[in-house]
Structure 1
Amino acid sequence: MRITDWLTYTGIEQLKQMNRYYGCEIQRTHSKYELIRSLLQRIGNKSHLEEKIDRLNDQEFRFLQLIMLDQTPAYSMEELLAKGRIALNERQGQPRQLIVEALKRGWLFPGYSRQTQNLYYVPSDLRTQVCEILLKPYELEKNRRQIPPAVYRDEQKQLLYDLYHFLSFINKEIVRLTMDGAIYKNQQRQLFQTFYIKETPIAEKGPRFGFGRCYHLYPDRFSLLYDYAYYHRYFIEDENGYLCLTEEGKGKLEKKEKDSQGQDQGIEMVRFWIRLYKRAIPQLPMIIRWISLLAYPGWVKKSLVYQAVGPWMKAFYYESKESLYRKVLKMLVHLGVCMIGQEDDEQYLTLTPSGVKWLHGISAFRERAIEEGFVRNR
């Protein structure tokens, strides 16, 4: 519902609180109509709302992003408290106070019916207006380009095709694991030659953990493929160390043509990746949301997007914020969500047509991190 509708269900005292916050002249009246009219004049004034947002402290600004950029229509109190804790960013403070202030400011409204009385809503038109204000500093009219850069990488559907190559390989070949639990490197090379996107077995001895069950054994893209197929029980690792295709896996191969034409499989792979990487990058949903807002329509500089997502990233053991950002973009390209291009020593990115459909079809904020037991079961 729009803010006009929500205000009509709001009590006199809350309307007066909102009038005080927005500096309305009419505060002492008991006329609900006058209180609503004065509020709409202020809230409907974009420059006035922008001025209020500019005055928020860091925690309040983070909370604003968390409730406005998440497209979920309604939140429970538990969800809002979780967002409040994220907004505090490990600093002292009370997450509940952020919710109280949001109610006073008219960012949130409690449900008014028996079915919705325990939920809190963001007015649809206010969310649109706030999103426009949040995007304003990035000057997208000036910084977006519609013409693709000189060279760019587009991997739409290729991860899905390579999933079938992997399952077909298990079906045709005898695949045995080493004592460490990895496919032998010679056989990895043989498998990777069948892929659309070639990778090489891991050679370096540096640390590799935190991004999946098999991340320490395989390169990034294949590690995701392996974990995805194993999680969905397309194959098993038997007690003798062999990979064996299951009935689910055989059925998957039989549906190859149908799946390759549809969107559902791609969406499921994106959702799985979010759940897998969320353990190491807890604010991945916010990062993805900012990318979807900035990188479509048209191409934007990779460095510009980092300005928005950088505050939501934290170093993870051996990974810096910058290397995590590169990893996220690389995997979004592998998943067919983004394209990355280069021209004149500048990198650009945009959403693919598939990425636009997928990111509007799921709420990354609703995806729970993958079960710890799955990651540790190695």
Structure 2
Amino acid sequence: MVAGEASGDLLAGLVLGGMRQRWPDARVQGIGGPRMAEHGFEAWWPHEKLAVRGYVEVLRHYREIAGIRRQLAQRLLDERPDLFIGVDAPDFNLGLEEQLRAGGIRTIQFVCPSIWAWRGKRVHRIRRSADHVLCLFPFEPELLAQHDIPATYVGHPLADTIPLEVPRQASRLSLGVAPDGVVVALLPGSRRSEIEYNGPKILAAAAELHRRRPQLQFLLPVVPGLRAMVEPLLSRHAAGVPIRLLDGRSHEVLAACDTVLIASGTATLEAALFKKPMVITYSMHWLSAAIMRRMGYLPWVGLPNILCREFVVPELLQEAATPQSLADATLAWLDDPQRCEALTGRFTELHHLLRRNTAQAATDAIAKVLEA
């Protein structure tokens, strides 16, 4: 298995739980993180090595990432595992899967690349690379079937993990947050490159929010190992602002908060499943952003908006993500309870749609590939 970042590690860890029940003695190895390690996964490289987003940012690390893929491909072709599962990270995994499949190793891509949103021509590489695709969203298998790619809708494992009823008070008690306090969660991303570009803007927005409403409280869950990167940004862009840094605990933070200022990515789906109003933002190198804009098919970038097919939450990207605009959009949620209540209804419907016992469904599909 290869999972290339924190979100992939989370997804893979949830599915590994189901796999362990069916195949308790299976040897599972490759690239992954702590959630996978909890299920006996042996990491040859840590998943942080692949946690880079954006064309310019990837170029900086290209030589190291390409070297890892060459070494991994050769090792797998030599050892010939029963199955390879690439978890998300399509730019890394699809090329690897294509090599392995050509060498006679069965391959599964877990998480369909978002060909419905951008870079639709990747569908041809998916057909060459994957024996089967495990899809998180219900519309994807039909789309892949049009290109003769076997696929199964397995739901989203986060929808199984996150409770339908949000444990708001219990999470506040666990975090030491006052029951009646107004809390803004800050989630700048799980990758170093995301924190580099999103962190300053989100922290500056928190400073602006604090200036306007000093009673607000801020919680910022930090991915393990990245605290040393976040702390200098905090002193530089939000000195004096009551921001609590927490090691992990993002789900408790999302359950406890009133609204979220969040970088686009899987975390936005987590926030939606916790039924939270949010402001989605994202920044990257200007050239990467220009390339991605030209390749995009949809008017949305955030998963909640893509899945709801409309702007149910605001998106402020690149130059539009100023401290003032981010603060304005955040306060707009706090000042409109009826709008928040309507959003809770939409997100509850979405939660039911995505809840499919993913670990069981994925394991059943994996078993069929192994038996073929």
Q: Which has the higher strand share?
A: 2
Q: Same fold per TM (> 0.5)?
A: no
